[in-house]
């Protein structure tokens, strides 16, 4: 029996107001731009965040003013202007005029309804690539912890015997040969110190969690650097004064940023070199942590930037792995330790190329309310 035969009429579909397409574009998490010629006529909030410029500044400007010369993105738009159809290019490096380089997937298409108009959608991809590498980084930490334990038992004890034997020989040797004894002692001390540094990778790490003012941490690191290894460099600070406290261990966070600033000082040129410390609050960045895959927000970002030559392309994928270094006398453990400490804080550290130099970004969670514990 049909609905008509039974005397029952199905309810008419509920009327739903049409969604304004502009509202959809405004809420997309990916940067969306519309160009008339090369002039920006539309930019959504995600595009404002990408270029670090408000819409009132962006609109009416030429895209060429925002990109570095010879930008790949500008070349792709040129192909479209010469008659090419829609273009999608993946993993390109977007060089911005302010010196930052970000990896994006770019989708460019003409707008048939509006002559000479081009729609440009950008999907930042560098952070997703970093997140994919996190499990491998944690595995590296476990491996080096086991290696440190083995070395402590199997290497340090014999080294102590070698050093002691060399010292016993020293009085019976001539002046020239004593220098060789000193060389043996120095090298055994260096290897023992390297093993001691690896002890920092032992698991689990103990974190005295409490609210920490990240600006006080950075100020402490800046003073140490300015009065020591970075006295010849200019250190610039760009801080968000409204930033809330992070949750973590103050001493361990000092170690993280001291390592990053020391690396920046070693990379920056001796004359005219600069280190920039920046903090900002970014809504909506989340990552999964733990076996349950619980997602946590990491809104606090600290950037350490230098004006050096940058990291060699073939090293970028292995930057946070142990024993990877481009320094002649480096141990390759500094950035591994940074990644371990930041990971234990529930955060994320990543590398971005800049023009010139490098940017290391540390993303951290905000402090939860802890009964009876105040900011440090």
pLDDT for 375 beyond 50:
no
Residue 136 predicted with pLDDT over 90: no
The reply to whether 237 and 119 lie within a common domain is no
Q: How many distinct structural domains can be found in the chain?
A: 3
Q: What angle do CA 98, 363, 28 make, to 5 degrees?
A: 65
Q: In this structure, are 214 and 357 located in the same domain? A: yes
Residues 228-267 have pLDDT tens digits of 889 999 999 999 999 999 989 888 899 899 999 999 999 9
Residue 4, in any domain of the structure: no
pLDDT, residue 184, reads 82
Report residue 111's pLDDT band, with 50, 70 and 90 as the boundaries: confident
| Residue 306 predicted with pLDDT over 90 | yes
Shared domain for 108 and 241, answered yes or no, is no
Same domain, 352 and 277: yes
Q: Are 238 and 202 within 8 A, CB to CB?
A: no
Residues 191, 228 within the same domain: no
Domain check: are 164 and 239 in the same one? no
Confidence of residue 374 (pLDDT cuts 50, 70, 90): very low
Q: What is the mean pLDDT of residues 134-153?
A: 52
* This prediction's pTM: 0.53
290 and 356 within one domain: yes
Q: Of 83, 103, 124, at which residue does a domain stop?
A: 124
Give the residue numbers spanning the domain of 348: 210-364
Give the distance from CA 75 to its chain's centroid: 28
- pLDDT for the residue numbered 38: 87
The domain that holds 43 is classified in CATH as 3.30.450.20
In-domain check, residue 7: no
Indicate whether 65 and 48 sit together in one domain.
yes
Residue 134: pLDDT band (50, 70, 90) is very low
Answer yes or no: do 268 and 162 share one domain: no
Q: Give strand pairing partners of 89.
A: 106
- Interval 9-56: pLDDT, tens: 555 555 566 667 777 788 888 899 999 988 999 999 988 888 888 888
Which pLDDT score is estimated for 291? 45
Task: State what percent of residues in the chain have pLDDT above 90.
Answer: 21
18 within some domain: no
End-to-end Cα spacing for the chain: 75
In the structure, what pLDDT confidence band is assigned to residue 150 with cuts at 50, 70 and 90?
low
Q: Which of 201, 236, 252 is the last residue of a domain?
A: 201
Q: In this structure, what CATH number is given to the domain that contains residue 218?
A: 3.30.565.10
My answer on whether 214 and 330 are in the same domain is yes
Q: Are residue 91 and residue 233 in the same domain, yes or no?
A: no
Are residue 113 and residue 52 in the same domain, yes or no? yes
Distances (CA, A) of 283 to 104, 218, 299, 354, 355: 20, 22, 5, 23, 26
């Amino acid at each position: 029996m049909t609905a008509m035969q039974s005397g029952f009429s199905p309810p008419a579909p509920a009327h739903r107001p049409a969604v304004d397409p502009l509202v959809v574009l405004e809420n997309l998490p990916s940067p969306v731009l519309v160009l008339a010629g090369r002039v920006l006529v539309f930019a959504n909030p995600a595009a404002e965040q990408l270029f670090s410029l408000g819409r009132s500044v962006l609109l009416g400007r030429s895209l060429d003013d925002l990109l570095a010369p010879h930008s790949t993105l500008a070349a792709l738009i040129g192909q479209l202007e010469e008659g090419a159809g829609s273009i999608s290019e993946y993993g390109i490096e977007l060089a911005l005029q302010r010196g930052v380089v970000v990896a994006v997937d770019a989708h460019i298409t003409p707008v048939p309804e509006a002559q000479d108009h081009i729609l440009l959608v950008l999907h930042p991809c560098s952070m997703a690539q970093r997140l994919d590498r996190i499990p491998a980084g944690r595995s590296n930490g476990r491996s080096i912890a086991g290696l440190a334990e083995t070395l402590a038992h199997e290497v340090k004890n014999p080294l102590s015997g070698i050093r002691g034997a060399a010292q016993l020989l020293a009085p019976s040797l001539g002046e020239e040969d004593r220098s060789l004894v000193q060389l043996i002692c120095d090298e055994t001390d260096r290897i023992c110190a390297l093993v001691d540094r690896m002890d920092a990778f032992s698991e689990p790490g103990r974190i005295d969690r409490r609210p920490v003012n990240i600006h006080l941490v950075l100020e402490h690191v800046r003073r140490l650097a300015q009065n020591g290894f970075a006295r010849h460099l200019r250190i610039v600070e760009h801080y968000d004064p409204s930033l809330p406290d992070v949750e973590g261990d103050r001493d361990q966070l000092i170690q993280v940023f001291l390592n990053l600033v020391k690396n920046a000082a070693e990379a920056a040129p001796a004359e005219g070199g600069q280190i920039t410390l920046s903090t900002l609050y970014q809504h909506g960045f989340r990552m999964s942590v733990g076996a349950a895959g619980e997602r946590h927000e990491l809104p606090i970002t600290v950037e350490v930037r230098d004006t050096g030559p940058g990291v060699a392309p073939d090293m970028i994928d292995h930057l946070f792995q142990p024993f990877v270094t481009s320094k002649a006398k480096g141990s390759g453990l500094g950035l591994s330790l940074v990644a371990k400490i930041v990971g234990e804080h529930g955060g994320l550290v990543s590398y971005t190329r800049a023009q010139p130099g490098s940017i290391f970004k540390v993303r951290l969670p905000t402090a939860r309310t802890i009964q009876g514990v105040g900011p440090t």
